[in-house]
Amino acid sequence: MGAKLLETLNLPNPLDRYDTLTNGLRSSPPAPMNIRIGNGYDVHRLVAGRPLILGGIPIEHHLGLDGHSDADVLTHAIMDALLGALSLGDIGHYFPPTDPKWKGADSIELLKQVYGLVQERGWRIGNLDSVIVAERPKLKPHIATMSQRLADVLNLDLDQVGIKATTNEQLDAMGEQKGICVHAVALLIKD
Ligand code: MG
């Protein structure tokens, strides 16, 4: 319907409203976003002669995760999710695997440092969620312990720390027990 006809019929032109709305948004600065989401992913190889540590918890298994630090793949993915939410880079930037300082490092201690960066900037964690992809060992019996450990370190309630475990249905490297990978997301809030 043409503008002229709308005017003749004494009807509001929807484009006028659109312009008003657009100008209104342009004239006031956008409110700063007070929530942020971050995504993290990590994978480590399963090898003989290494401990298996997930979420700071040692887990009985004949294979462990290989890496420069303790190779706690769950904690690493969560750290990357936290850093990602604030565009602070990734854990390789803060704890490079080429630096002997981090050899055998307890990833929970690294997580505390990353959490410190989040807090320094005035953010708190709304919630975390993660999926561990591991064919073996069965992780269900350990999930509550891992959640509690991470909740303690990050001052969170248990219902703010989501940890899920799935197999890869024997497909690809995870399914062939060559490694364990983790996908994680973190929601940050600024009050
Ligand atoms: Mg890693």
- The CATH number for 74's domain is 3.30.1330.50
The domain total for the chain is 2
Residues 114 and 143 in one domain: yes
Q: Is residue 187 within 8 Å of residue 125, measured between CB atoms?
A: yes
Higher pLDDT, 113 or 15: 113
The whole domain housing 44 covers 35-189
CA of 158 to the centre of ligand 1 (A): 24
Strands 161-166 and 124-133: parallel
Side by side, the strands of the sheet bearing 64-65 are 64-65, 35-47, 179-189, 124-133, 161-166
Residues 5 and 71 in one domain: no
Residues 23 and 96 in one domain: no
Residues 5 and 41 in one domain: no
The pTM score is 0.85
Residues 15 and 90 in one domain: no
Q: Can you give the pLDDT at residue 9? A: 72
Q: Rounded to whole angstroms, how far apart are CA atoms 183 and 88?
A: 18
CA of 154 to the centre of ligand 1 (A): 19
Residues 67 and 6 in one domain: no
Paired with 167 in beta bridges are none
Q: Rounded to whole angstroms, how far apart are CA atoms 189 and 156?
A: 13
Q: Is residue 128 within 8 Å of residue 186, measured between CB atoms?
A: yes
The answer to whether residue 21 scores a pLDDT higher than 60 is no
Residues with CB under 5 A from ligand 1 (ion): 42, 76
What digits encode the pLDDT tens for the residues 148-179? 999 999 999 999 999 999 999 999 999 999 99
CA of 126 to the centre of ligand 1 (A): 23
Residues 6 and 62 in one domain: no
CA of 122 to the centre of ligand 1 (A): 26
Average pLDDT in the chain: 91
Residues 114 and 182 in one domain: yes
